[in-house]
Chains A and B, each alone.
Chain A
């Protein structure tokens, strides 16, 4: 069958393929065609977007009482299980991209830490059903460094955000959107933390596409010495900069029992 004929056939079954309801043999044939036809790939991509958005039209519903608690307990148990297996084998498969590899290492390391430092206490808190039955309570948690990203060309308007968590494990998350301010920069950028004594430390690289990108990784964060963060292109040009301030994350107190009985 000619390529045109394959394309015509694909147009007939593309909707079913995108909705993942195409029977096995037809599905295999369609995917084989997509491997060699960019136009049909784009056609199916658009239909897949329709399918995703269709699911998004479904109404939200209130989950059963205690659902949050049960999910939390389940995650704590799985974290404990991962902690035991992480000593024997990598917790996650090899993936492409330096940033992803960094996050994978982060996840594997954090799983072990969580057993000791985090999920144990969490499990205790969530074991008390009345905690989730009661209205959410708040507590002042560990401080977090936060700041808005700005660029010289944006006259102080925020184009992204930085969150740096100094706890254990420490981590940083950066999101940036240069596109809305006329920059469609694409390429690798370095995330550099600035200390109040003027020194800097590069904590990692990630890719920005069409001005947009976000990235997170595990890194030690000293809240007493870190004063800012900046993103630089490969040639050292500063694309965006953030002055970091210490905030306090307000979270629900999952470690203390509710006052309800």
Chain B
């Protein structure tokens, strides 16, 4: 019987990573590098900086594999959260200018696009993607600024040239709608 290491569950790979098994570590990096690099690129919009962030993500995962707790989320979620936090820190350390409107619109378009390949995504992600696409444009922009780029409500207000209270309301309203979407009973069927 041959057992391809590529079939090991994510948690098994992470456990192997914790033991210092170098072969499993390579497989682990190979399995998640596209996801991690994608998050880093989306936030930093800088290929070199994104590579640095992605590398730091795997170094941190390797160093802290022992404290991963599956009850708090999947390995993928754990890794992408690490990558996201590192990317935001890296951007904050390098520049202060707000995200360019065209970059924000492009990201929003990517997040809400529903091509055929997304039909195979898990149901919750498909519902969330559809819910984001249904948000009023100004709420979706505020959500992207805060949720993806890590901008505070004040930074959103400055970038959109709106009062602070309005920025807070947009973030809150958008997140509230997405929360309702995720907590609603599964009605079946994917986003068309």
Contacts and interface: CB of A to CB of B under 8 A. Distances in A.
B8 A75 contact: no
Given A12-B168, A55-B80, A67-B55, A110 B20 contact: yes
Interface in B43-68: 47, 51, 54-55, 58-59, 62-63, 65-67
Interface residues of B, number: 77
Given A57-B129, A59-B110, A63-B54, A111 B20 contact: yes
Tell me the interface secondary structure of chain B in the complex: helix
Interface string B4-20: 11101101100110111
Interface string A194-221: 0000000000000001000010101000
B115 to A, nearest CB: 11
Contact of B150 (A20, A95, A114, A122): A20
B15 A216 contact: yes
B99 to A, nearest CB: 14
A216 B18 contact: yes
Pick the most buried of A19, A79, A92, A110: most chain B CB atoms within 10 A of its CB. Answer: A19
Interface stretch (A31-39, A180-188, A248-256): A248-256
Given A67-B33, A68-B33, A54 B143 contact: yes
Contacts of B175: 14-15, 18-19, 47, 50-51
Interface in A62-86: 62-64, 67-68, 70-72, 74-76, 78-79
B70 A146 contact: no
Interface residues of A, number: 79
A173 B70 CA distance: 14
Interface of A: 12-16, 18-23, 46-47, 49-64, 67-68, 70-72, 74-76, 78-79, 92, 95, 100, 103-104, 106-107, 110-111, 113-114, 118-119, 121-122, 136, 141, 144, 146, 161, 163, 165, 167, 169, 171, 173, 175, 209, 214, 216, 218, 245-252, 254
